[in-house]
A and B are shown apart, each in its own frame.
Chain A
């Protein structure tokens, strides 16, 4: 296999995988929300280029508006968790719930009273933060649940790392020479086709290959 063919094959995988990794991350927050009977769950990705936390996946309240929103990396509870690598459970903030992230919470129309936040750690890196918002107040939180949250964090960290890698690979391909990028897009499109359209596409490519020879 030539270098270009290899690149095209890799590109097909990379371009198609971002969606799959995003769905994996979304599934993780959906399950986290379900397990803890919470009103919402979300994942922040740490964006190294801007030194910010970005909402990557949201389940439940705020899912319509929060994706893509950004907050500074070292303020608020999520910032504290990212910087210190320590998980925290905060429940029933009374009197004046001015905890960090309120501005975004107000924009989304949903202001939580309590949250669990845990760092997403991959090797030495903190790649993001998993949040679970407003679990039922009547149940006293236990150390067993803290361990469960940690297990979920491991899974979410892997999903987030896969997404991060796919994006980086995609950026490398797209920043490369335009011929390779065009080939990569074509390979990805072909990979997504089914039935007669896929057969026709393959025939066309074979004809092109014969022509180039």
Chain B
């Protein structure tokens, strides 16, 4: 949809007179964007989804395996090292998120980037380092059911979020349901997610009053838990992987979509937008 015509160099910072034709993009947008167009028949196959969290229990039946797992370690001088993760999930949360994504996009490829375990002192550095690493890997979707309140990280997180946006990596981030400033969900380059109380996994609403842009299922959700267990749980951090799963479905069918186009597609197919004409 938005790939440039072959053989033509793309303009970078300006568009000189008479060169507009070099920007001509073949378009496949339908007259009306529906859920059927957006993800009908898609299983998320071919889409790499990163779970930036507490690790993932790989052999949990609801997770269905991961393609790779790394842990982010913070050294004495705040240097960040990314190593193979041999510990799995340190609390159960990452496993729950992975299970939700898998339930919506059964054939997507899951990857775990564990940013917990370095101690609280180094947690902001680990979060930022893990996100930066994940963006460099070119995952199409990064699920971030977490945030930081430290303003010292806000600027750097903003830069990484913008870099991801331009590299066609979509960050799906949990909004905060407490009245505090936290990041990165407040940035417009990410897809921010809060909870609704409906029970349908594919029901999601566009919020015309940002900063929270979408509400997805986040109350009383059955999730995968440690030791092959299941639990019922509530929190924006479980609404977020629902949106990540839906992003994987759309990108599985339309891999050429940019984050901007993907967000527009999510808006047009939201339960409070698409149904208006039905």
List residues of chain A with CB under 8 Å of any chain B CB.
46, 48, 51, 72-77, 79-80, 82-100, 114, 118-119, 121, 124-126, 140-143, 146-147, 150, 153-154
* Residues of chain B whose beta carbon lies under 8 Å from any beta carbon of chain A: 54, 90-93, 116-121, 123, 127, 145-151, 174, 176-180, 182, 195-197, 219-220, 225-237
Q: How far is the CA of A74 from the CA of B237 in the complex (A)?
A: 17
Q: Which of B145, B146, B178, B227 is the one whose CB lies under 8 Å from A150?
A: B178
Asked if A72 and B119 make an inter-chain contact with CB atoms under 8 angstroms apart, the answer reads yes
Nearest Cβ on chain A to B54's Cβ, whole angstroms: 6
Q: Which residues of A contact B197 (CB under 8 A)?
A: 142-143
Contacts of B91 in A (CB 8 A): 75-77, 79-80, 99-100
- Assess the B145–A83 pair: CB atoms within 8 A: no
- In the complex, what residues of B have CB within 8 A of residue A146's CB? 177, 195, 234-235
Assuming A100-B92, A118-B178, is B121 touching A92 (CB within 8 A)?
A: no
B24 to chain A, nearest CB (A): 44
Complex interface: chain B residues within 8 A of A150 (CB)? 177-179
* A70 CA / B49 CA spacing, docked (Å): 35
Select B234's contact among A72, A89, A98, A100, beta carbons within 8 Å: A89
Q: A74-B119, A86-B174, A93-B225 are in contact. Are A99 and B92 (CB under 8 A)?
A: yes
User: If A99-B92, A147-B177, A150-B177 touch, does A126 touch B227 (CB 8 Å cutoff)?
Assistant: no
10 residue pairs, one from A and one from B, having the closest CB atoms:
A84-B146, A96-B227, A73-B120, A89-B234, A95-B229, A83-B123, A150-B178, A98-B227, A93-B231, A88-B235
